[in-house]
A and B are shown apart, each in its own frame.
Chain A
Amino acid sequence: MLTNKQNLDALDKFSENLEIEGRSLWQDARIRFMRNKAAMVSLVILFLITLSVILVPMLSEFAFDDTDWYALHEAPSAVHLFGTDSLGRDLFVRTFIGGRISLMVGVLGALVAVVIGTVYGATSGFIGGKTDRAMMRILEILYSIPFMFLVIVLVTFFGRNIILIFVAIGAIAWLDMARIVRGQTLSLRGKEFIEAAHVSGVSKWNIIRRHIIPNVLGIVAVYSTLLVPSMILTESFLSFLGLGVQEPMTSWGALLQEGSQTMEVAIWQLGFPAAFMVITLFCFNYIGDGLRDALDPKDR
C-alpha cells in the first residue's frame, strides 16, 4: 500500500527519470555546470567585474585622462583609491576602464580560438590522410609567418581600427588550439563508437559535429581559459606596434606593462591591475573546469 505522499514521491521520481532521458547533451551539461559551486561563484564574480568596468568609469569623480602635475606617483589614499600613475592620473578609474578592452579581447580571442581551432583541428584530424597533412602544413606556415609584419601591414592598409585588433589576435589565437584538437581527434577516430557511427552511415560532418567536437570540448574548455590572459597580453604588444588601444585610453596589458617598469617606485601601478587580472583569470579557470566537467560525455 502506498501512501499518498509516497505516491507523489514516486511520481516525482518517475517524472524526473523521464526528464533525464529526454535531456540533450547541452541541457545536461548546463545542469551539471549549475551544480558546480566554484564555477557558479566565478561566474558571478566575473559578471560583477564586467559590470563594474562598464559602470565605475562613468561614476568616478576622476576622468581616466585627467592629469595632475602635483600628484605624480601618489600612493593609494582615500582620494585616489589605487594611487596615481606617472602623470598623476587616477589608477582606480584607469584600472576599471582598462578592463573594458581587455575583457573583450580576452573573451573574443578565446572564442575565436575555440570556434576556428576546434573546427579546423577536428576536421583535419578526422578526415586524416592528405587533407590532414595539407591542413597541418598550412598551420605550420601560419605559425612561422612573421606576425609582426602582418600587424604592421594591416595597420598600414586599414589604419587604426578596433576591429583590426580582433582580426590580428584572432589570426594567431586558434593555432595551438587546432593542433591540440587535431591530436585528440586522431585518437578519437580510432574509437569504436566513431567507427560505429561511420558504419551506420552518419555523414562525416555530422560525426565531427555530434561526436568528435563534444568529446574534445573538455580539453578545449581548459585550454581556452589559458588563452584569455595570453590574448590580454597580446593586445598590449599590439599597442606597441600602434594597433592596440591608444593613450590616454588604456588596457590591463598596457597598465601591467607600465607597472612592471616602475615596481620599485610605485608598486600599486603593478599591483592593482595585476590583482584584477589574477581574479579574472581564476574565474575563467574555474569556469573552464566547470565546463570541462559538465561537458565530459563519459560522465553521464
Chain B
Amino acid sequence: MFKFILKRVLEAIPTMLILITVSFFLMRFAPGSPFSSERTLPPQVMENINAKYGLDKPVFEQYTTYLTNVIQGDLGPSFKYKDFTVNELVSAALPVSAKIGSVAFVFAVVFGVAVGTIAALRQNTWLDYSVMSTAMLGIVMPSFVLAPVLIYIFSINLGWFPAGGWLDGSIQYMVLPVLGMSMLYVATFARITRGSMIEVLNSNFIRTARSKGLSYSYIVLRHALKPAMLPVVSYMGPAFVGIITGSVVIETIFGLPGIGKLFVNAAFNRDYSLVMGVTILIGFLFIVFNAIVDILLAYVDPKIRY
C-alpha cells in the first residue's frame, strides 16, 4: 500500500508538469488577451498593463516564472478579478463545490446503485422498465432544462426552496442544486450497475451459489454486488471530479460561487493565471481520485494487480 502511494506521488510530478506545460501554451494560442476589451486601449496603456502582469516578457520566460511560482505554491494574481489572488479565489470556491459535489456524488452513487440493482434483479419486468425509464429521463434531461424546471416548481410555485444563492451554504440552498446536479449521475450509475449486475448474475459462480440453495438476496448482497461494482468504481473517478468541477450550468443557474463557474468565467475572460490555477486543481483531483479508484478496484477484485 505504502509503495503504491509512493509510486503514485512520484508519477504525479511529471504528470502535473506536462499538464501545466500543455495547458499554458494551449491557452496562449487562443486568440484574445486578458486585457482586450471592446474599446481598444491606446498602445501605451496596453503596454503598461502588460508590464504590470509580466505579459511583456517572452512567453517562455513567463512560463518559467510561472512554474517557479507554482512550485512555491503561488498561483499568482488573477488577471480579471484584480483584487484577488488565484489562491484566494480557488480556496474560496473549492469548499462550495466540494460540499455540493460530495453530497450530490454520494446521493448519485447510493441511489444509482440501488436503482440499478433492483432493476437488474427484476430484469424485464414492469419494475425494471419503469425505474430505468425514469432514470433515462435524468440522462436525456440536460441540467439546463432540469434546473429551471426544479426552480419553477419548487421555488416560484411552491416556495419551498430559494431559487438560488449560497449564503452560508445551509441546507435549503443545497437541495435543488444537488438534485439538479445528481440526476444525470444517478441515471448513469443506475445504467452501469444494472448492466454489470445482470452480467454477474449470469455468471457461473452465481449459478453455482444458487444451485447450492442459498437465498437469492443473500447471494446478491454477499457475492454479486462486489464484482458488479467493478465498472461502477471505474466510473467513480471521472464522475466525482466531473461533479465537482464540471457543474457550470448548475452553478450559473443557481448563482453558486463554485469552481465550475470560476473556471468558465476565467476561460472566457482569458484570465490566464486563474485558468491555470483551476486546471492544476482539476489535474490534482483526477490524480488523487484515480488513485483512490485503483485502490477500490483492488478491493473489489483482489485478483487485480497493477
A touches B in complex, CB < 8 A:
yes
With beta carbons under 8 angstroms apart, the residue of A129, A149, A176, A187 that contacts B230 is: A187
CB distance from B176 to the nearest CB of A (A): 16
Residue B30 CB within 8 A of the other chain: yes
Verify B191–A183 contact, CB threshold 8 A. Answer: no
Verify A281–B235 contact, CB threshold 8 A. Answer: no
Q: Contacts A179-B234, A260-B145, A281-B140 given: A153-B283 contact, CB under 8 Å? A: no
Verify B198–A190 contact, CB threshold 8 A. Answer: no
B residues 126-181 touching A (CB-CB < 8 Å): 132-133, 136-137, 139-142, 144-145, 148-149, 152
Interface string of A215-227 (1 = CB under 8 A from B): 0001101110110
Residue A132 CB within 8 A of the other chain: yes
Verify A190–B301 contact, CB threshold 8 A. Answer: yes
Verify A136–B198 contact, CB threshold 8 A. Answer: no
Which chain A residue has the least Cβ–Cβ distance from B264? Answer: A148
Verify A140–B15 contact, CB threshold 8 A. Answer: yes
Verify A278–B15 contact, CB threshold 8 A. Answer: no
Verify A260–B148 contact, CB threshold 8 A. Answer: yes
Verify B145–A218 contact, CB threshold 8 A. Answer: no
Binds A, one of B19-27, B78-86, B87-95, B99-107: B19-27
Verify A219–B304 contact, CB threshold 8 A. Answer: no
- The docked-state distance in angstroms from the alpha carbon of A132 to that of B196 is 23
Residue B31 CB within 8 A of the other chain: yes
Q: Contacts A179-B237, A260-B144, A282-B133 given: A145-B19 contact, CB under 8 Å? A: yes
Verify B305–A264 contact, CB threshold 8 A. Answer: no
Verify A292–B195 contact, CB threshold 8 A. Answer: yes
Which chain A residue has the least Cβ–Cβ distance from B18? Answer: A141
Which residues does chain A contribute within 8 Å of B29, judged by CB atoms? 149, 153, 156-157
- The docked-state distance in angstroms from the alpha carbon of A225 to that of B136 is 11
Binds A, one of B38-46, B199-207, B215-223: B199-207
CB distance from A28 to the nearest CB of B (A): 15
Which residues does chain A contribute within 8 Å of B145, judged by CB atoms? 256, 259-260, 263, 270, 274
Q: Contacts A176-B235, A282-B136 given: A187-B305 contact, CB under 8 Å? A: no
Verify A187–B304 contact, CB threshold 8 A. Answer: yes
Residue A101 CB within 8 A of the other chain: no
Verify A298–B286 contact, CB threshold 8 A. Answer: no
Verify B136–A281 contact, CB threshold 8 A. Answer: yes
Q: Contacts A175-B238, A219-B192, A298-B203 given: A183-B297 contact, CB under 8 Å? A: yes
Interface size class of B (residues with CB under 8 A): 35 or more
Interface size class of A (residues with CB under 8 A): 35 or more
Which chain A residue has the least Cβ–Cβ distance from B237? Answer: A179
- The docked-state distance in angstroms from the alpha carbon of A247 to that of B301 is 51
Which chain A residue has the least Cβ–Cβ distance from B227? Answer: A187
- The docked-state distance in angstroms from the alpha carbon of A129 to that of B306 is 5
Pairs across A and B, CB under 8 Å, 20 listed: A132-B306, A136-B290, A140-B287, A143-B238, A144-B283, A144-B286, A145-B22, A149-B26, A149-B267, A153-B29, A179-B293, A184-B230, A186-B301, A229-B142, A256-B142, A260-B145, A264-B152, A281-B139, A293-B198, A298-B202
Q: Which 8 A-B pairs have the closest CB atoms?
A: A183-B234, A190-B303, A222-B195, A144-B283, A187-B301, A180-B234, A137-B15, A260-B145
Interface, chain B (partner A; CB < 8 A): 7, 11, 14-15, 18-19, 22-23, 26-27, 29-31, 132-133, 136-137, 139-142, 144-145, 148-149, 152, 187-188, 191-192, 194-196, 198-199, 202-204, 227, 230-231, 233-235, 237-238, 241, 263-264, 267, 275, 279, 282-283, 286-287, 290, 293, 297, 301, 303-306
10 further interface pairs, Cβ-Cβ under 8 Å (given A190-B304, A226-B192): A133-B306, A140-B290, A157-B29, A179-B235, A179-B290, A180-B234, A218-B199, A223-B191, A226-B187, A260-B142
